[in-house]
Structure formats: C-alpha cells, structure tokens
Amino acid sequence: MATVLSVSGSPSPTSRTTRLLRHVVDARLAEHGHRVVELDARALPAAALLSADFSDPQLIEAARLFAEADGVVIGTPVYKAAYSGLLKALLDVLPQHGLAGKTVLPLATGGSTAHVLAVDYALRPVLSSMGAGHITQGWFLLDRQVGAAADGSTVLDPEAAAQLTPVVDAFAAALERHRVPALAC
C-alpha cells in the first residue's frame, strides 16, 4: 500500500478541482488500496506562503506530507492558461527537489478546451524541475464535466469518467512499479 498525497491548488472552497480530486481518491485510489492524505493549499496561511516563511508550522507540516508520500496527485484550476497562483506559491516553498522519487499525477479543470495543454506545458515542467521520479499522463476536465449530486458527492460526466479511469489506474500502476525497487533495498 502506497501513501498518496492529494493536493488541491484551488483557492475556492466549492472548487470543481477539489471535487475531482475527491472523486479520484474515493472512486479509484481507494480501490487500489492506497492510503490517501489530503492537502488543500487554500487552508495554508496566505502570509506564510507569500513571504516564504519556512518556519511556519503549517508549511513545515505540508513539506513533511510531500516528503512522506510515495505519490502525489496535484489538482489545479487553469487560470490564464496556467496552474493557479496558489499552487505556485505552495510549490515555491517546497524544497527544490521536493518531488524527488515521487510518482505524480497532474490534473486540471477549466472552463474552455483552450486550456487543455496547461497540464503539459505549464504544470509538467515545474513538477519535473522539482525532481518528480515519474510524471504519469495528466488529465484536463472541463468545469461542466464535474458536478455534485443531491447528497454532495461528486458526479462526473459519464464520458469524462470513462476517460479519467484509465489515467488514474495508470498512475496507481506506476506508483506500484516505482515503489518496488525502494522496497527491495
């Protein structure tokens, strides 16, 4: 069983990005038997993030969560063809190689298909520069493909759900493949 850190880079408490992450965690990663720890960047102290206060206890805890995770699922809304500034602020306070050896799944949501390349051209290079061991195929969903049921649970457009499932399953498989050598040592 791997430990996966699910990171929401959305500043909104009613975010479709956060709903998407919860769906991935509840509907897919739990089935693979992974332990998931959730981190909402918006819950971190803004002043500490913006001033890069490395002594802030909540930022120290966030860095610890990244360090202890075997894999990371990073979700972000797309604003102006890039990932959120909140996510950028969080990534900026992590160590330069804070993703070293980690398997990473980048996910994004946005209002237009014009932003579909933000995962590969904006987010992936940053994750790579932070030493991610393996960045699996990322995925972009339109905002309208992510909704809520009457009970508050996440509902994905059926076509989007069908396309997302193999992406998450590939992440879970890569996570296991990349953990095996570390366990054998």
Q: What is the CATH number of the domain that holds 40?
A: 3.40.50.360
Residue, of 48 and 179, whose pLDDT is higher:
48
What's the rounded Cα separation, in Å, for the pair 97 and 46? 23
Mean pLDDT of 1-27: 93
Residue, of 71 and 27, whose pLDDT is higher:
71
Task: Count how many domains the chain has.
Answer: 1
pTM of this structure: 0.93
Read off the pLDDT band of 30 (50, 70, 90). Answer: confident
What's the rounded Cα separation, in Å, for the pair 93 and 165? 32
Per residue in 110-135, pLDDT (tens digit) is: 999 999 999 999 999 999 999 998 99
Quote the pLDDT of residue 75: 98
C-alpha distances out from residue 16 to 13, 24, 32, 117, 164, Å: 9, 12, 23, 18, 15
> Which domain, by its residues, includes 166?
3-184
